[in-house]
Amino acid sequence: EADIYQTPRYLVIGTGKKITLECSQTMGHDKMYWYQQDPGMELHLIHYSYGVNSTEKGDLSSESTVSRIRTEHFPLTLESARPSHTSQYLCASTDRGGSPLHFGNGTRLTVT
């Protein structure tokens, strides 16, 4: 049973559109993350947040942006989608260092 929710599950959108991928968690976790996952590749961290009003870029450069206005909510935005953004995006959270990450079910984005 997921305590971290991502919407939409699937999204097909045309080039140039602005999109927001939603991520919410009900566990009160301070730390939240966005990973990008392509087939056969490791998960790449693209953004993370250690609390409200705190956001950082991850190891993989991404044209997306994030915000953290509330503890439970960590949306990811692409201002102008391109086919190269086609991927699966996974949101995760945890409460302390070294603890397992809890993952949402992901959003599979296809940009045509």
Partner 1 sequence: AQSVTQPDIHITVSEGASLELRCNYSYGATPYLFWYVQSPGQGLQLLLKYFSGDTLVQGIKGFEAEFKRSQSSFNLRKPSVHWSDAAEYFCAVGASNDYKLSFGAGTTVTVRA
Q: Which residues bind partner 1 (CB under 8 A)?
A: 2, 4, 6, 9, 31, 33, 35, 40-43, 45, 48, 50, 58, 90, 92, 94, 96-98, 100-106, 108
Minimum gap (Å) between residue 24 Cβ and partner 1: 14
Distance CA 111, CA 95 (A): 33
Residue among 17 and 58 whose Cβ is closer to partner 1: 58
Name, in order, each residue with C-beta under 8 angstroms of 45's C-beta and a sequence gap of 6 or more: 33, 34, 35, 58, 59, 60
In angstroms, what is the minimal distance from the CB of 37 to partner 1? 9
Query: Is the backbone of residue 40 left (phi > 0), alpha (psi -120 to 50) or beta?
Result: left
Token pair of 63, please? 């044209």
Q: Name the minimum Å distance from CB 100 to partner 1.
A: 5
Residue 17 or 75 with smaller CB distance to partner 1: 75
